[in-house]
Amino acid sequence: EVDPKPVFEKKALIWEDDMQLYFKFIDRTEALKADYNSYLRHHPELRALMADFLKFLLLRKPQDVVTFAAEYFAPFSKLHTEQSPFQTSNKSSPFKKQEDLN
């Protein structure tokens, strides 16, 4: 006669309660923060770019922040095609005008 396979119940993994996993998480978090801060120190233009974006965002206060951010950063994308300024001088802005928001 064949013994039935044992059934093991799944135990919930609560990593916050597991000291080893918790300290791995803390160490990784600190390493990432240090890496991010180092990157920011070596790229001051990023800080300026984000400051400009946040100022513009707070001035406009759009309802859809994600679309607003996508439109704001689209010109910085490698997928964004360069166009002559003469072709776009009469084109409306992709950003909503202040009177449209009221």
Are the CB atoms for 65 and 57 separated by under 8 Å?
Answer: yes
At residue 54, the 3 state secondary structure works out as helix
Structure tokens at 56: 């513009």
Domain count, the chain: 1
Beta strands in 17-94 (DSSP E): none
Task: Confirm whether 31 is domain-assigned.
Answer: yes
Read off the pLDDT of residues 70-96 as tens digits, 9 standing for 90 and up: 989 888 887 766 665 555 555 566 555
Print the domain residue range for 56. Answer: 14-72
Task: Confirm whether 98 is domain-assigned.
Answer: no
Read off the pLDDT of residues 53-66 as tens digits, 9 standing for 90 and up: 999 999 999 999 99
User: Position of tokens 């013994």?
Assistant: 3
At residue 82, the 3 state secondary structure works out as coil
Read off the pLDDT of residues 2-53 as tens digits, 9 standing for 90 and up: 888 888 888 888 878 888 999 999 999 999 999 999 999 999 999 999 999 9
Task: Confirm whether 48 is domain-assigned.
Answer: yes
Neighbouring residues of 74: CB distance < 8 A, sequence distance ≥ 6: 80, 94
Task: Confirm whether 20 is domain-assigned.
Answer: yes
Q: What is the predicted pLDDT for the residue at 16?
A: 82
